[in-house]
Amino acid sequence: MKTFKILTLAIIALMSTQVLAQETVEKWSFEFNVDASLATTKPGGTSLNPGAGFELMFQYRFLPHTGIYAGWGWNHFSSDNSFAGKNIAFEETGYLFGMQFTHPLGIDNLSYFIRGGGLFNHIELENEDGDITNDTGHGLGFQVSGGLDIPISKGWNLTPSVKFNYLNRDLKDNGTTMDLNLNYLSARIGFVRHF
């Protein structure tokens, strides 16, 4: 117990010095990004057409190069023919969270970043009218991404990147359970506001 208290005090002291050293660094940011996606799997044996989506996220930088993020995302893939019928759309929506490491490249204020984190998402199947015909329910997955952080004006940055999402959920349909593995690769462009 005594070791735990000493370790806790040491961590608090270390973080206090980091906070004092970062007073001029903007710690908070908000990002909106859009993407074009290609599925790398066939959920339920269904070939998916190229998709698109977006994410909204907040980030808190607690060290000069390291921060945590949380947000919400949506991605849409259409299909011509699927196990659920013709023209069924597969939509992945839910929450994202993780850590980001950003480091300067030493060229014109450019930086690179890498992100890794979790998803708490679900997959909805929608018909041509936009009605939800089935839903997997939320579950855990993961995402990794990396890209460039480009300052475009005071407090604003542009973040082109590549992302990989992995989500495996069970879909119950007419008394049977099907494994839906929706993995995809995305090319993204983000707009970040620091404050």
Residue 12 has pLDDT above 90, yes or no: no
- Phi, then psi, of 65 in degrees rounded to 5: -120, 5
Return the pLDDT at 13. 56
Tell me: the pLDDT tens digits for 86-140? 999 999 999 999 999 999 998 888 999 999 999 999 999 999 999 999 999 999 9
pLDDT band at 142 (very low <50, low <70, confident <90, very high): very high
| Nearest Cα to Cα of residue 126 among 88, 83, 181 | 88
Helical H runs in the chain? 2-21
Tell me: the pLDDT tens digits for 37-64? 999 999 999 999 999 999 999 999 999 9
Return the pLDDT at 24. 58
Residue 80 has pLDDT above 80, yes or no: yes
**Residue 123 to residues 6, 56, 74: CA-CA distances in angstroms?**
46, 18, 10
Q: What is the mean pLDDT of the chain?
A: 90
Decide if 58 contacts 71 (C-beta within 8 A).
yes
Residue 29 DSSP SS3: strand
* Gap between the Cα atoms of 131 and 163, Å rounded: 28
Return the pLDDT at 95. 98
**Residue 52 to residues 4, 46, 57, 63, 193: CA-CA distances in angstroms?**
48, 17, 17, 33, 22
Residue 22 has pLDDT above 50, yes or no: no
Return the pLDDT at 23. 45
Kindly indicate whether the domain formed by 25-194 is annotated with CATH number 2.40.160.20: yes
Residues with Cβ within 8 Å of 6's Cβ and at least 6 positions away in sequence, in order, are: none
Confidence (pTM):
0.83
